[in-house]
Amino acid sequence: MGFFMSKSMDESLKKQQEFMAANSALQLERQMLMQNEMRQRQIAMQIAWSREIIKYFGTFFGLTTAGLTIGAMKKKSPKLLVPIIPLSFIFAYQYDLAYGTLMLRMKDEAENIIDTEQAVLGMPKGVPTFETIEKARRARTPVFMQK
């Protein structure tokens, strides 16, 4: 009789372990999907912010360019056109970020760094462990509150 009970308990334990493993895999998959969704939303917000900035900066750049050009023609001094050069670089960068391929080029470069330059990706003092985090927590917690 004990043999049948232990066999039944073993089967039950095995089923429970399989259920727990499947549940853990499902939970991990959900967490990964949620993190990816949050990453996509953050990138979308960054692109939207860039597109909003380009509207304001484009207006500023256009008015400044027109004003400096008119001023240079009236005073017959091409020196007044010099500020247009750095402003045009800033405008081009913002436009590329908002509507161009800058994000794709950055992604490609990040993939290249991951593939070819692993040494620069290491964290200072390595990846935090439970022990290092607990040590830091205990150092901040008063002695009477530590458990």
Q: How much is the pLDDT for 146?
A: 62
Could you tell me what percent of the chain has a pLDDT over 70? 93
Write down the pTM of the prediction.
0.68
Q: pLDDT tens digit string along 104-125?
A: 999 999 999 999 998 899 888 8
81-107 residue pLDDT tens? 999 999 999 999 999 999 999 999 999
Lowest mean pLDDT among 5-14, 46-55, 64-73, 84-93: 5-14
- Do residues 94 and 52 lie in contact, with contact meaning Cβ atoms separated by under 8 Å? no
Report the chain's mean pLDDT, rounded to a whole number. Answer: 91
Q: Cα–Cα distance between 32 and 141 in angstroms, integer?
A: 33
**What's the DSSP call for residue 92?**
H
Integer Cα distance of 47 and 103 in angstroms: 9
C-alpha count within 13 angstroms, C-beta hemisphere, residue 62: 6
Whether the pLDDT of residue 144 is over 70: the answer is no
What is the per-residue pLDDT for 145?
64
Which positions ≥6 away from 121 have C-beta within 8 Å? Answer: 113, 114
Closest by Cα among 111, 110, 93, 91 to 101: 93
Query: What confidence category does residue 137 fall into, taking pLDDT thresholds of 50, 70 and 90?
Result: confident
Q: Which two tokens stand for residue 129?
A: 């462990």
Q: Is 53 within 8 Å of 97 (Cβ atoms)?
A: no
